[in-house]
Amino acid sequence: MLNRMSNEEALNFDVTANGFTLVETLAVVAILGVLLLVAVPSFSNLISNNRMVSEVYGLRAALSHARSEALARRAPVVVCPTTDGLACADSNDWSIGYITFVDTDDNSVADLVDPTEEIIQWEVRQNPVAVRFDNANKRVRFGGQGAALSFEGTFTFCDGRGAEDARALILNPVGSLRAAIDSDVTPDGIVNALNDTDVVCN
């Protein structure tokens, strides 16, 4: 014969089976709080790293494309920072955006009237990653043979975390690119520029 629970017993059973005490709820909230404190900085660091890598790959792609165009056209192609998408800015700050164009007269300005001075690409940048180029020419010029003689140097990518988290892209005189590494005899966690010194974030 089945035992039947009274209404009061059933009510007590439901509360016991499905409810949480105040102490249990506070314990769960405390654990979640600790997990958030641990996870949020790591997540923020992951986002910053992804943003940095995206900037490095974007500029690397633009420079590689410019060199390919110089080889294909047998004409000089310039990549430089710009604010207006027409002329090279007098700045080593490439965070403002950069332009790629054929520069047959070597005046660092794309001539919209001259069909031989075509604008190949214009990248408008709005990113917290600072990009600096250490060549005094402040631009890159690939000759018709693909070389970047006198325009070689290091592009440094920095954010608010400083030089320890910076990345760099090295352009050599023959026009090829490579990612910078920490090449110090005793590694210090900071990548090295073309001249083998640690990159600096201002």
How much is the average pLDDT of 114-119?
90
On average, the pLDDT of the chain sits at 89
* Residue 170 scores a pLDDT above 60: yes
Domain spans in the chain, listed from the N-terminal domain onward: 21-179
pLDDT in tens, 33-76: 777 777 666 778 888 899 999 999 999 999 999 999 999 999 99
Residues in the chain: 202
Q: Are strands 77-81 and 140-142 parallel, antiparallel or unpaired?
A: antiparallel
Give domain 21-179's CATH number out of 3.40.50.170, 3.40.50.300, 3.55.40.10, 1.10.10.10: 3.55.40.10
The burial class, CB within 10 Å (0-12 / 13-18 / 19+), for 38 is exposed
Residue of higher predicted confidence among 14 and 183: 183
For residues 98 and 122, what is the distance between their CA atoms, to the nearest angstrom? 6
